[in-house]
Amino acid sequence: MAEQRIPRATAKRLPIYYRYLNILLDADKTRVSSTELSEAVKVDSATIRRDFSYFGALGKRGYGYDVPKLIEFFKKILNQDQLTNVALVGVGNLGHALLNFNFHQNSNVRISAAFDVNDNIVNTVQSGVPIYPLSEMGKQLRDQQIAIAIITVPENTAQEVTDELAKADVRGILNFTPRRLSVPDSIRVQNVDLTNELQTLIYFIDNYGELLGGNEKSQD
């Protein structure tokens, strides 16, 4: 049995579906159609059905999808049935906001350790998360079995921090700096470049504006 690999584009949408399904459940809705979902998450209904179908026949024809069933299913797929600890490197402006937020409202992810070079904050606890000096990073990551790190350090130190993370066998990095990181094949990088995001938006508005009619579908 072929164990089909899920397309990248589909994988990126799974958390969006998962999130909205939980909202439905909170509102005591136990069934949903692809059309209805489409409306809420702004993804074409055919795309949703195709996405779901990669995992088998999850719905019932003439009825739709059973919300609790879908949730249970996606919870496993997305590893949301267990807590994932991640690390934060660089507790400045942005890092502080992320620490405070800490993701645990609607997802089973939390920042369990933070690292910085600033002596004023090192060895304190912020929003319930201990901040360690950089020198302890390797040890802590290994002890706590942390495989994912968020980088919010100044751009010019991003690569060296990354190299340290690689040594500690981190598997994934969420990179908020504008620097494109060099990493070994074993590490996956996800860039979040807010300045880019804004510039791209400006470009689109100035150059694409007039001639996209009602065909505006996926927004990203």
Ligand X SMILES: NC(=O)c1ccc[n+]([C@@H]2O[C@H](COP(=O)([O-])OP(=O)(O)OC[C@H]3O[C@@H](n4cnc5c(N)ncnc54)[C@H](O)[C@@H]3O)[C@@H](O)[C@H]2O)c1
Partner DNA sequence: GCGGTCTTGTTAGCTTAATCACAACGACAA
Partner DNA sequence: TTGTCGTTGTGATTAAGCTAACAAGACCGC
Binding site, annotated residues for NAD(+): 90-95
Residues that contact a copy of itself, how many (by CB under 8 A): 68
From the list a copy of itself, DNA, ligand X, none, pick the one residue 177 interacts with, judged by a Cβ distance below 5 to 8 Å according to partner type: ligand X
CB of 190 to a copy of itself, least distance (A): 5
Give the C-alpha separation, 86 to 141, whole Å: 9
Nearer to DNA (CB atom), residue 13 or residue 75: 13
From the list DNA, a copy of itself, ligand X, none, pick the one residue 134 interacts with, judged by a Cβ distance below 5 to 8 Å according to partner type: ligand X
**Residue 213 binds DNA (CB under 7 A):** no
**Residue 62 binds DNA (CB under 7 A):** yes
Give me the 124-143 binding string for ligand X, x by CB under 6 A, dash otherwise.
Answer: ----------x---------
**Residue 159 binds a copy of itself (CB under 8 A):** no
**Residue 64 binds DNA (CB under 7 A):** yes
**Residue 33 binds DNA (CB under 7 A):** yes
**Residue 84 binds DNA (CB under 7 A):** no
Q: How many CB atoms are closer than 10 A to CB 74? A: 20
Residue 56 falls in which region: left (phi positive, over 0), alpha (psi -120 to 50) or beta? left
Q: Look up residue 106 and give its amino acid.
A: N
Among 84, 61, 69, which Cα is nearest to 18's?
69
Q: Look up residue 16 and give its amino acid.
A: I
Which position among 34, 140, 152, 162 is part of the footprint of DNA (CB under 7 A)? 34
Which position among 30, 35, 53, 100 is part of the footprint of a copy of itself (CB under 8 A)? 100
**Residue 74 binds ligand X (CB under 6 A):** no
From the list ligand X, DNA, a copy of itself, none, pick the one residue 154 interacts with, judged by a Cβ distance below 5 to 8 Å according to partner type: ligand X
Give the C-alpha separation, 202 to 196, whole Å: 10
What residues make contact with DNA under the rule CB under 7 A?
Answer: 7-10, 33-35, 43-47, 49-50, 52-53, 57-65, 217-218
